Amino acid sequence: MIVGVSDRTVEIIRATIADIRLVKGRAVLAVIGIAIGTAAVVATLHVGHNASREALRQFVALGTDLVTMELQPSGSAAPEVRIGYVLDLPKKGLGISNVSAIVQTGGSIRARRSNVQANILAATDGIYALAKGKLAYGRFTSDLDGFSSFAVLGAEIASSLQGPAKDQIAMGERVNFNGQTFTVIGILEDTPPNLLLNLELNRSVIIPFAAARRVTSQVAISQVAGRLSSGANDEKTAEAVAKYFEPLVTNGFMHVATARQLIASIEHQMRIYATLILGIGAVSLVVGGVGIMNVMLMSVMERRQEIGLRLAIGARRNDIRLMFLCETIILATIGSALGTMLGYLAGWLFANGSDWQFEPAPLAVPLGAGMALVVGLFFGVYPAFLASRLDPVVALRSE
């Protein structure tokens, strides 16, 4: 009995493949529709996954123990906090090991007849270690410099301030900002932007914190960068630091965010984007499924006499249903396989073009291929059911 059922199934599959060859034009269009939908799902899953992994890699490279603190106003007046309260933070045992207070402004830097736009950072000593800035030559600014007009240039700023001979600016040379002259005491190596602290040292000029009054009349601290102590809980530390500053900040409050919290927020946003992207890909799959249903309905209409003949000589209605479902599954499988390969290729090309390290999305293949098969079957059930319900006598009389 089992052998009989197996032989019948094999025969149905052979007949199905032969039937697909007869309608290869429409079959190709249906396969293309499923392939495009599957490719859209797989490619977007890869892009979303690799974008998330790349962002996380950058955050990890910058340091997952970083803390950023920004003053937020609670009214029309600008919020302020004393520098002493900030520098005392590591001594309070709240989970912060070191900090740097920053006054940030911007403008045009002039030197050697060059004029470039730059960020001006008046910061305390810790800025270099927190932002992972390294010296190419010279020395860092220091809190001991006091009000001295010393400056450390970012790599991009230094290379932009070139003379006629295209030689880079040297130690001891002068740069001018807002009528104030600063002596260059150091040049930084190329430093990647720090997204966590919102700092781009390559495009910055760093001066001693006390020298902020030389470049701006608004010397209120704009942000504070910090680092978690070893073993500190980031959420508890963020709460404790915000509570510490609560009575110390005038006209506002201190918003505290840790790197781990930002990473968790990014992962949450990426999941939302992945869901939206998956929905867009699903629409493409539905379009491909409609294409398969049209092909199958046309096949049923054209093969009514064949269906009637099969029923008349003993084929069961289940056999007719299975025949058309097999045809749908074969078309969906071919389209799914092609789409999966195209999706992988598109995802790899996008990652390679973005200078990302390509990493296959774990759900790309099972989800993309699974959705294609489900959509194919869903849209193939109705034509298969319609074919199995045909009256043999009416079908044989049709032309």
Q: How confident is the model at residue 3 (pLDDT cuts 50, 70, 90)?
A: very low
β-partners of residue 355 are none
Render pLDDT for 251-308 as a digit per residue (tens, 0 to 9): 889 999 887 777 777 777 777 777 777 777 777 777 777 877 877 777 777 777 777 7
- The answer as to whether 254 is a domain residue is no
Please tell me whether residues 86 and 50 are part of one structural domain: no
pLDDT class of 209 with cuts at 50, 70, 90: very high
Confidence of residue 139 (pLDDT cuts 50, 70, 90): very high
Whether 68 maps to a domain, the answer reads no
Q: Tell me, yes or no, whether 382 lies in a domain.
A: yes
Question: Is 234 found in the same domain as 116?
Answer: yes
Q: Report whether 306 contacts 355 (CB < 8 A).
A: no
Instruction: State the amino acid at position 319 in one-letter form.
Output: D
pLDDT of residue 2: 38
Residue 260 belongs to a domain:
no
Whether residue 216 sits in one domain with residue 189: yes
Mean of the per-residue pLDDT values of the chain: 80
Indicate whether 13 pLDDT > 70. Answer: no
Q: Which of 216, 248, 280 is the last residue of a domain?
A: 248
Q: Are residues 111 and 241 in the same domain?
A: yes
How far is Cα 340 from Cα 177, in angstroms, rounded to an integer?
Answer: 57
Residue 73 within a domain:
no
First to last CA, the chain: 37
Q: Are residues 100 and 188 in the same domain?
A: yes
Q: Is the pLDDT of residue 92 over 80?
A: yes
Q: Look at residue 337 and tell me if it is in a domain.
A: yes
| In a shared domain, residues 270 and 228 | no
270, 244: one domain: no
Arithmetic mean of pLDDT, 59-69: 77
What is the total count of domains within the chain? Answer: 2
Residue 50 lies in a domain: yes
Residue 1, SS3?
A: coil
In Å, how far are 27, 153, 364 from 322, measured between CA atoms? 18, 74, 29
Average pLDDT over every residue of 194-217: 87
Angle at 95 between CA 93 and CA 98, to 5 degrees: 90
Predicted local distance difference test score (pLDDT) of residue 1:
36
Q: In whole angstroms, what is the distance from residue 13 CA to residue 26 CA?
A: 19
Out of 202, 223, 248, pick the residue that ends a domain: 248
- Vertex 144: Cα angle to 140 and 147 (nearest 5): 95
- pLDDT range class, residue 395, cuts 50, 70, 90: low
- The answer to the question of residue 175 being in a domain is yes
* 294-352 residue pLDDT tens: 777 777 777 777 777 777 777 777 777 777 777 777 778 888 888 888 888 988 888 88
Pair (223, 294) in one structural domain: no
Helical (H) or strand (E) element with 273:
helix 259-302
Q: Are residues 32 and 174 in the same domain?
A: no
Asked which of 51-60, 77-86, 370-379 is least confident by mean pLDDT, the reply is 51-60
Same domain, 188 and 307: no
The residue range of the domain holding 214 is: 81-248
**Domain match, 172 and 312 both:** no
Query: Facing residues of 72 across strands?
Result: 253
Distance, in Å, from the CA atom of 308 to the CA atom of 37, rounded to the nearest integer, reads: 35
Cα–Cα distance between 52 and 40 in angstroms, integer?
Answer: 18
pLDDT at 232 over 80: yes
The C-alpha atoms of residue 36 and residue 249 are separated, in whole angstroms, by 57
Looking at per-residue confidence, does 371 or 118 come out higher? 118
Q: Does 26 lie in the same domain as 94?
A: no
**Are 173 and 207 in contact, with CB atoms under 8 Å apart?**
no
Which of 197, 217, 248 is at the close of a domain?
248
State the average pLDDT over residues 105-110: 87
